[in-house]
Structure 1
């Protein structure tokens, strides 16, 4: 374990890149050595995000101008769009195989090459690295992450759904063929690139579903739920866009198995997360709110009875830019570098 580490952020001009920088600036054992943003190359971070004006930071550079061995980085966060990320990381690790990588895109989350091609429309361009990558859901894969060179940070929707459901699936406590996930996300989940559908007048004063029946996060849910169950699991999942900046709220409907009621499901989750620093199970009957996790690395989970006997309603809330992306990525970084897992992530949610 190094006393300090030099860190790079690829794609620092996006929302997840800026969130990474916000968190890392307060990390006591990190030095920011490299920031990239191809369209903003030559500019400073204060030109892109004025909140960083007080801090001395490297100037933004283009990825193609980098000589990886001379950068001196120990770990790189990759906050680039899926598809292009796999070729960038392949080139990086070929030139500098000692560097560790936390990838925030979807490029290395699926371990099956055929599944990747089916969901993303092309063959994976770095299959050897796809096989090497470790899925970065810390509460499940903590020990594997500690020894990994390449970690695939989970998606925001999938993190919000997996944390409450995986312990129940592993315990055989719910009917896995009846899982319904109704999820809502803030607009930052769509990224910072200009898109007509994300204009204020297009998004405000409205609420709509999208990716209905074929959202790419379904592949991630299928993979992890099936692995936990030991057989194929295909949940119903529908995402919605809500006119707020940050946050994800998932309302999940399940049926208990073998006589398991809502109280028993709640007890399983309380036990599963009793020692986890970033997952909090609320008292039985209480539901989480996105405002209570905003800006933090926390996930709040609640369980309540349904009026239908044998069914339960589970609520899960997290900040899509923090525990759903950059906060979880820093959590992964801490494990990969041998630092305390909570280092730099202790901030309490910002409310109101």
Structure 2
């Protein structure tokens, strides 16, 4: 591991100033992703700025009936928080499907949003990777690409975003609160992460010195009909081949509102509002769900090793929508799909 300076920030403004002054400085909280990257020499920050003592922990109610989640709230605390478990069970289910209990105890909400891709070439400094060294190439395109993206790819990168939490937050239309040298701002969750384009080294749209302070969820409306379905190579401690966050509001046998997001298929949580609009007003039938899946996966392209993901995702979307329609959400600990 490369030597680095360490600073424990006493205030948010101290942390912002420290990372704004040096582009090679990094924020550390739970460290469940960053420390791994440092051990493998993928990340070599010259300074770590510890924000764990800042007052950014906890879940509070907003005036609009939603909740505000502090960026330092541990994943385990969030998953089992009574307001989240009751009003936003889709989010709780996604959290419990991720990592292990030990990692969920350490990992923070803000850190989860900023975790880097798990592409094997990104983690192997002996190979080229456009995310580590722009312009060096993307060997995953013709190499080992079983876990690679099928949507929103570019010639520069086919990596996927690994978070389960983020897939649920995308479906629930969360708002991300950040603060930086120019003050606080809020952005829709869909605008936080970016596709690779011609700058694959950039995962998020945050500016220099900006820190995530909180995530806000709107008032609950999908407490009854929801499901987070995660398909992976083994039951636990594995990243998704395909994951689906599905939420429906059903009234009098009709879908009043729908939210749908995919994980494991793109460089960011994948959401296509047209796919949701397509089934709003319709009966919750297999035909309607298949139409939504087709629209959501429009333009999907495999690279050989991940071709199976297209059909897997199509079936997963239909199944994940059938579960909330039946009032039978997927249980993270269950060894079989509902």
TM range (shorter): under 0.3
Q: Structure 2 length as normaliser, TM-score?
A: 0.25
Question: Higher helix share goes to which structure?
Answer: 1
